[in-house]
Amino acid sequence: MKRPTETMKNNPHLHERRGPGPGGIEVQRREFLQLTSLAATSLLCAGRPFAAEGSVKIKDVRLAKAIEIETSDGTIGSFVGSSSQDRKTLETHLPRIRELLAGKDPRDPALSGELLWEAIYPGKARLFGEFRDPLAGESILGKPRNARHTATGQVFIAFSTVDNALWDLRGKLQDKPVFQIMGSAHRDHVPVYWRPGEVGIEPALAAKKARAAYDRGYRAQKWYFNNGAKEGEQGFKANVELVRMLREELPGATLMFDNHSIRHSDDVEYSLRLCKAVAPYKPFWIEEPICPEHLDGYARIKGETGLTIAGGEHWYTHWAVKPFLDRKCVDYVQSDPIWCGGISEWLKVCELVRQYPGVKVVPHITSPWIAAPHCVASQPESLCPILEFNSEEGQGGRKVLEQHMQHQPDGRMVMALPTKAGLT
């Protein structure tokens, strides 16, 4: 397997403006039907023994600490879900969800988060593609968020939990880890990039920790900008100094930078100036350069800097992704299977991205940490080249994922995939 840096640097499309399409934000019903058909075909043709009929049926859906889906043979699929989900709404809709799933064959790929939200909020999800809040109805185009997730987003995160529980159940019924039934790649290990999650760390200390991690095998790393326009010129210089010191310490490393606090801002001028200032240090990507729904901001930053842009962890459903692909202003789509609508919806994002040559999918990873590795391993390296590894203590993924990290003969670190059935 190539090193992550080799795989990425050798991509001739990496710094090109990408994607066909008219560049508009209106999503037509015909496109929706085509995409749905593509996703269903992918699920059925990816080497999985899914069947439309079978003797095993869903008997019960319940919510305790996790969503649990039990079948007639006693098999239980479960998923805890994100702490960001709207659990109260999930509880409210549980009787309807139970009604929609009970008696169905759990292996049927039509059972998904989308099935649930289309039954409960018919036709609403597609409004994300028009930059309207599906439940509130208001415009969200270019507006900064007051919180990390919107109230509507938290509802869709709750549907993600049900979808992921279905995938855990399917894996257990087939006695396979989920990545082996959700795609045909069957990668038993994947490259990782190291994310320390330290916001506001002094540049000199960051450089020291980055060197230690690099020497342990983490050749690709992501660090955070912690200062926005309100921190003034001193904060701006601190952001640039972080990049400078990391690059000087690790001249051969793959270094990504996340705009962290800036993602709540609509100050395009500040983000544009920062991106231009760090460009000489060759960041591999700049992540979320502006608030999530600022399409014009993304397009301007991409167009005026030529930098590789990553984004999408805060986009819900595949509908929100397409406008950015059409405007050719995102190179790495970071849809999170725990937030975007579930693994089924994440697969739809992959099907969509395949229509835009050169664009790749690298899912954001969040608690409970276990979905993203299966997602990356299910797809070819050409589409999903690398996995995010949050190495933070406490709330981070170290306790869950570090035991799976392995050194390759060349010293770089990769993650070995779980071998147990389901989402583990």
Positions marked catalytic:
364
Looking at the DSSP assignment, which residues form a beta bridge with residue 309?
286
Cis peptide bond N-terminal to 368, omega within 30: yes
Whole-number Å distance between alpha carbons of 96 and 89: 12
Concatenated DSSP letters for 126-154?
Answer: GGGGGTB-TTT--B-TTPPPSSSS-HHHH
DSSP-assigned states of every residue in 214-227: HHTT--EEEEE---
Which among 346, 342, 423 is positioned nearest to 383, based on CA atoms?
346
Instruction: Identify the three-state secondary structure at position 77.
Output: strand
Cβ atoms within 10 A of the Cβ of 199, count?
12
Instruction: Please say whether the beta carbons of 168 and 78 come within 8 A.
Output: yes
Rounded to whole angstroms, the Cα distance separating 189 from 2 reads: 12
**Could you give the C-alpha distances from 95 to 63, 99, 139, 264, in angstroms and in order?**
11, 6, 31, 36
Residue type, 12: P
d(CA 43, CA 37) in angstroms, rounded, equals: 10
